[in-house]
Amino acid sequence: MREVLVFDFDGTLADTLEAARSIFNRLAPDYGYETINPEKIPELRHLNLRRLLKTLGVRQRSLPGLMKKGKAMLRDQLGELSPCPGVFEALPAMRGSAVKCGVLTSNSEGNVDIFLKRHGVRHHFDFVISCRRLKGKARYLKAIAQECSVKPEKLFYVGDEVRDVKACRKAGVPVVGVTWGFNSREALEKSGPGLVVDHPEELLAAIRDWRVG
């Protein structure tokens, strides 16, 4: 039995990539950004957060407002979102391998709650925490460890982005990257997680073995 298992939400539990692209494109004219064509997604998947924002022309000062509007717009699309394939099927076994299980996300707690309840899996999670800043997960991970009375190395984070890996390394938390979300396998591997997996079955094995870090 492990200690605390923590999941990212967007791209890890919920397939939100196309919804995010659609929302960005709806907001783009208000900010003077170019819209994102589907053909551009493979290129963007190789970029870390800094390079992604630069490529899209998003200024740091515009980011909080953009995120707030995006989360509100996503709430209207929650009924159209699907879980990432195979993840919820493996979730009971993954949950059974940890004392506590939760979500740490840049999305809103309300959006996550609605989605998890709609798909009948909310009871598997002891907590849902929203990180207010895209780059602030390291501090939240340390706070979760403190709240759960364990050392950071006793947490296990599952995420789909380079920024997730960097936050975990900064916080001293073992992390596994999943390739079914936003960032590509190549980008994830370069960021230095303990392991990168392509399928939920591999993720379940990693959680049970706890061999990443």
DSSP classification of residue 37 = P
Whether 8 is catalytic is yes
d(CA 197, CA 94): 14
CA-nearest of 150, 205, 189 to 172 is 150
For residue 127, what is the enclosing H or E element?
strand 127-130
Interatomic CA distance for residues 116 and 208, integer angstroms: 23
Q: How far apart, in whole angstroms, are the C-alpha atoms of residue 39 and residue 54?
A: 18
Q: Which of 8, 10, 160, 164 is catalytic?
A: 8
For residues 173-188, one letter each, b for 16 or more C-beta atoms within 10 angstroms of the residue's C-beta and e for the rest, the string is bbbbbbbbbbbbeebb
Rounded distance between C-alpha atoms, residue 26 and residue 22, angstroms = 6
Question: Quick check: 181 and 87 in contact, CB under 8 A?
Answer: no
Q: Which residues are catalytic?
A: 8
